[in-house]
């Protein structure tokens, strides 16, 4: 009888305490479009829906014909990236346009 007398009840593993649990299907964020493609946005209207995709480590906005029209860096970017990596789909709805300042709401589909 060699070795340790472990009861098999370990306390390690699991989610680290400093990693917040994210409800990906309920994640909603408001943010500004970074590097907007102005020829596209100058013709866009409030309420326009864009696809949200992960392109390497950048979150990009895709219009109805598949063109990248901007990127975003929302307050909870790590949570959104993790959700996108786990297969959740998101859209961005334009909620305001004021010149080159375009604000969108990001939500799961």
Say how far apart CA 87 and CA 47 lie, in whole Å. 25
pTM for the structure as a whole: 0.79
Supply the CATH number for residue 61's domain: 3.30.70.2330
Residue 71 counted as domain residue: yes
Kindly report, residue by residue over 87-105, the tens digit of the pLDDT.
999 999 999 999 999 999 9
Residue 32 counted as domain residue: yes
Residue 1 counted as domain residue: no
Cβ proximity of 75 and 88 under 8 Å: no
Say how far apart CA 21 and CA 79 lie, in whole Å. 9
Say how far apart CA 59 and CA 28 lie, in whole Å. 15
Task: Print the domain residue range for 51.
Answer: 24-108
Residue 14 counted as domain residue: no
Kindly report, residue by residue over 32-84, the tens digit of the pLDDT.
999 999 999 999 999 999 999 999 989 999 999 999 999 999 888 999 999 99
Domains: count for the chain:
1
Residue 70 counted as domain residue: yes
Nearest to 69 by CA among 47, 43, 107, 38: 38
DSSP 18: T
């Amino acid at each position: 009888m060699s070795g340790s007398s472990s009861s098999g009840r370990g306390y390690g593993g699991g989610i680290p305490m400093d990693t917040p649990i994210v409800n990906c299907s309920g994640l909603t964020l408001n943010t500004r479009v970074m590097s907007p493609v102005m020829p596209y946005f100058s013709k866009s209207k409030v309420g326009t829906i864009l696809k949200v995709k992960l392109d390497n480590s950048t979150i990009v906005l895709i219009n109805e014909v598949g063109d990248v029209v901007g990127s975003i860096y929302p307050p909870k970017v790590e949570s959104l990236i993790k959700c996108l990596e786990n297969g959740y789909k998101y859209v961005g709805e334009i909620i305001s346009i004021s010149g080159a300042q375009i604000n969108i709401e990001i939500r799961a589909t």
